[in-house]
Structure 1
Amino acid sequence: MDSAQTTALIQTVAQGLLTGGLYALIGTGLSLIFGVMRVINFAHGDFLAIGMFITLALFRAFDLDPYFSLLVAAPVGFALGFLIQRVVLARLGDRLSEASMLATLGLGLIISNTLLLTFGAQPQNINVAYATQTVQLGGVQLSIPLIVAGLGTLVSIAALNFVLYRTELGRAIRATAQNPLGAELQGVKTAHIQAIVFGMGVAFAAIAGVLLMPLLYAFPTVGENYTTKAFIVTVLGGLGNLPGAVVGGLVLGVIESLGAFYVSNNYRDAYGLVAFLLVLLLRPEGLFGKTVKRV
């Protein structure tokens, strides 16, 4: 392999890691919700679409830089997730694990059709000066929006870890995830904690939508693809395993980039699905999940 090929490979892997960071952010929100509530949120990608369209609306109305939209999209995402858990999911009671799949699928359809009625079906983007700019690092050229997205992912995941392991709220969340009844006996209001967790998961999806907006076009059904990616990431890392979701996202990003580099960019999404199927066949509990033996 000559120097040009080596540089191209390094650039491909670097871009894959940055893209995988965004996948990790999306997957972390889904994994957090599943780890605490045992709910797979099939509307997760649609909440990401909400983040994208909030960014688009603020840019057109106030010429607000996309990244400043985080100050609006994250709180709106949290409030929306909190409200949905209290009004919809909390009412499912003992049927939560099963009925939540239909409930979140229905929510996803409501969100995508609301976006369709509000913004139309035409793909839309944001024109900012830095959208196509790159920087050179050690001979490797990387997109500025992709670097910002990677940094945003690092900050978001670091903040989540701080909350989970350095605050009383984090202790309550971990207690609810490990033993809801035991947490209740210790005075933890698990219903309130679950609403907070669902809000946090939706906020992560909205943040990812904001970070993606300078890179992609927004359209009402854009979330469907990212729901699939989030599910792949959580399965790769192990359902409910937050460090696993981060690694799963990075792995997915690198696999897609290498596949596009060596085979064809036309089948980028297929490479992740192949990896997903292989993990299901060889290690169904995920790369970092625990095997449960039935006796």
Structure 2
Amino acid sequence: AGNHAQAVAYHARRLEIPTVVVMPRYTPNIKVEHTRAYGAEVIFAGENFDDAAAYALKLVNERKLILIHPYDDEKIIAGQGTIALEMLIIQPELDTMILPVGGGGLISGNAIAAKSIKHDISIIGVETERFPSMINAIQGKTPKFGLTTLAEGIAVKQPGQLTVPIVKQFVDEILLVDEDSIEQAVLLLLEVEKTVAEGAGSAGLAALLKNRELFRDKTVGLVISGGNIDMPVLAEIIQRGLVRTQRLCRIRVEIRDIPGMLAKLCACIEKTGANIQHVHHHRVFAKQTLQNVNVDFVLRTRGNEHVAEILSSLKKAGYSARLNSIGER
């Protein structure tokens, strides 16, 4: 529903060919709007890729359309393999390529192309733990799938009939990554590389960070396969990343419930250089001593060391203060 849909719609418009694209119901809006902007008719069907694919086949028969499959098509596989050709022209010393795996078209084309040029190059695939369809197909196991994943671009339950044999022959290993790793990879690409990548496109970096020893001393090429991520999702990833690194934190301080105490506490926090974002009092539903009150502060800080300095300063000033853990109320 991402790169493939937009590419088909774009070239169909140039060739003046009407196009129908079937997407799962909860496809990120950015993919939907960009595909429509290229002139395609977008139809929603089902909860996931496999549901949409089944409906697309039904439409092909009913409306006498030609199916351009996103991964189970020899020409699509070959076209995707041009990525490896370009990467090896630019960086011929590459000895490892890491690619996201959904239905298997991207990694199949690139594995064939890369190994035709450089026989000893390692091709590593990455799937999300919630949709391990390819690795299970290769191992002959029945996979268990999660409900959703940030990497919805590779959330495929049934890999291609063409791609599974290619992956078996040419791909050296498939790694699985969890949702937290994908989230952190999206944020790292944004913050360090100034690159907006979707969850599926960030899966390779997630695998690299999770398996550092496996790739130590290797010259690695990452294929960041898409930037189709909705802004609300990206904003939430940024916020969660700030919390994870304590650049956004929540501390709880117990004070006497009398006039002026909150102002003094805020002044103490101000001296540490932290920026107060939110303040919340806990009176009736808290366990503190009567006539005392718990105050939660959401602070914007410089990170872990700064938070430690803030807590130390508050304790030196006579306050009972602690950092609230993630998920604590």
- Shorter-chain TM-score above 0.5: no
TM range (shorter): under 0.3
If asked which structure has higher relative contact order (CA below 8 Å, sep 6+), I would say 1
Of Structure 1 and Structure 2, the greater strand share is in 2
* TM-score, normalization by structure 1: 0.23
* TM-score, normalization by structure 2: 0.22
